[in-house]
Structure 1
Amino acid sequence: MQCLTLIRPQRATLQILPCTVSQLLSVSEVNDAFVIGDCEVNQVSVVGVIRRFVPFLSNIQYSVDDMTGPPIDVKQWVNTEDSSVMSTFAPGTYVKVSGSLRNLKGQRSLLANDIRCVEDLNEITSHMLEVVQSHMQLFGNAFGKAADMNMNTTAASMSTTVQGYNMRSDGHSEGIFQNGLSTILDQVLSVIRRCSPHDVGISFQDLRKHLGYLNIADIRESLDFLVNEGHVFSTIDEHHFKSTDYETS
């Protein structure tokens, strides 16, 4: 009796797929491989802002946020033979990251092959258009119409955010908004304003939950500054806060 051998068709492997952080966090995982449709995702690229970084002896870990979802962790290995050529990027810097998606104990992250500064803010919009185009090629016009609306909203949101950044000659963004506040200060104040309608305002613990991508020290320093400058005041105790311009906003 002749045996028949079933041969499964191999998935196509994408080269470098432009993505948003939200897509990377929600992409399907099949047999230890990340898959979009019938294609296996190997290398991806994202564009976002550095929220924080932690240097280690063998690697540097960044938190990159593109405003489509929670920030994603990015690890870049350090060349120990020539560590002098390794550049680090400060919080508030817009970067483009190319690398491979990883899943460690349910936590997704990027292993970066390359990280570079975004020197022209038009590149953010360009990246979003590339995301739409590449996924339209994978899923057709049905995806494209829905994605186009979503990406337009995201691009508009990011463009509004970066209007407050001054790009220096080295490509780094200073992160100063029109109200004179830095990126982190503006984010802390925005959350407090949204919660100011509550009788007691917002507690420090709830503020931490809203700003989970920031470390505690940055939040405390921001609160001290905002209180001293008259933007924020404490309510029932020193751990609850409201915005001073809530009633007039």
Structure 2
Amino acid sequence: MWNNQGGFSNYDQAGGFDSPGGFSSPQQSSQQSRARTRTQNIVPVTVAMVHQCQHADEKFFIDGIEIAQVTIVGLVRSVQQGSNRMDYTIDDLTGPPMDVRQFVDIDVS
């Protein structure tokens, strides 16, 4: 981002980003660490991407990146309420509509 002429290229001068407790430089990141970091984030995807994702060993992958949580912005076409869950049909017009289940806790006090 900045040049090496006194700029903040990796800010390694006396306790910068590359020191313990600081931030790591972009050169230290690998494909494996990016996949591990990505699974802790919520990733925006389309319905078509979810339908085309690959899965192996209870893990889901989109474009080679492991995915754990996603967010989809779309139209709610239908809602059905059950005793312990809500069933939705979500459509973002990128693929066939997706059925989604949300399990709800019922507090019996």
Normalised by the length of structure 2, the TM-score is 0.60
Q: Identity across aligned pairs (percent)?
A: 32
Matched, 1:42 2:68: yes
Question: Residue 51 of structure 1 aligns with which residue?
Answer: 77
How many positions carry a matched residue from both structures? 74
Matched, 1:12 2:12: no
Q: Which runs of 5+ in 2 are unaligned?
A: 1-31
- Per-residue CA deviation, residues 81-103 of structure 1 (Å, 9 max, x unaligned), is 18xxxxxxxxxxxxxxxxxxxxx
Question: Residue 54 of structure 2 aligns with which residue?
Answer: 28
Q: C-alpha displacement at 1:13, in angstroms?
A: 4.1
Question: Residue 67 of structure 1 aligns with which residue?
Answer: 93
Normalised by the length of structure 1, the TM-score is 0.28
Q: C-alpha displacement at 1:79, in angstroms?
A: 2.5
Distance in 1 of aligned mates of 2:48 and 2:96: 8
Q: C-alpha displacement at 1:37, in angstroms?
A: 3.7
Structure 1 stretch displaced more, 27-36 or 42-51: 27-36
1:21 partner amino acid? V
When residues 38 and 13 of structure 1 are mapped into structure 2, their CA distance, relative to the original with a 3 A threshold, is farther
Question: Residue 25 of structure 2 aligns with which residue?
Answer: none
Distance in 2 of aligned mates of 1:59 and 1:52: 14
2:46 partner amino acid? T
Q: Which runs of 5+ in 1 are unaligned?
A: 1-8, 83-249
- Per-residue CA deviation, residues 90-126 of structure 1 (Å, 9 max, x unaligned), is xxxxxxxxxxxxxxxxxxxxxxxxxxxxxxxxxxxxx
Contact 1:61 1:73 in 2 (8 A): yes
Dislocated runs of 4+, deviation >4 Å = none
Higher relative contact order (CA 8 A, sep 6+): 2
Distance in 2 of aligned mates of 1:38 and 1:50: 29
